[in-house]
Structure 1
């Protein structure tokens, strides 16, 4: 009877490793998804602030008023003189806005309050 000295893992050892990896993933993945959602939310808040900055700078340098239209998960920036021409379109995945229009003029270039709903259903406001 000869014993071969084949080096390798047994089937039981491989199964134990797979089970441990599965348990680790079942713990880590839900937390990872929550972190991704938080990062998306913060990124969209920053994007919203940049829209306000863009609108104020645009009205100041072009001396022409803008209209910012909020509609559910979309924001449209249009010129007040040519409302049918959309200057910018922004899509959001985690923020929801009530239907509203903001008018930004070169003379009245102050931030305005915008309300939105977070992914958790909370109502929040931000200066735009």
Structure 2
């Protein structure tokens, strides 16, 4: 294959990230920051050679989705994740459950794939027991 390889790279460039992976990396950078940060700080924290404009695009999309908030900071903006990592993961799980069609079938399949430890944890959570 001229100019590229079967792995999806072109002319020595880094492989493309999976769909949504860059959003995840940007969110992880915001969570590590523990407070409002400029896009340049996010860019420096994200792995790989990523363009500043790409980081701004991702941050704008995350703001549009309500996952990230931005506030004026001088001539630019500072960005903060609206939800913590655990909250966002739970919201995504609810979204998948709601979009999965047959809720009982989706839940049954999910539970059938849990490890024994996760099953015990889920049982404790359903009984209202603390998870410490």
Alignment TM-score > 0.5, same fold: no
Greater RCO, 1 or 2 (C-alpha within 8 Å, sep 6+): 1
Q: Larger strand proportion, structure 1 or 2?
A: 1
Q: Larger helix proportion, structure 1 or 2?
A: 2
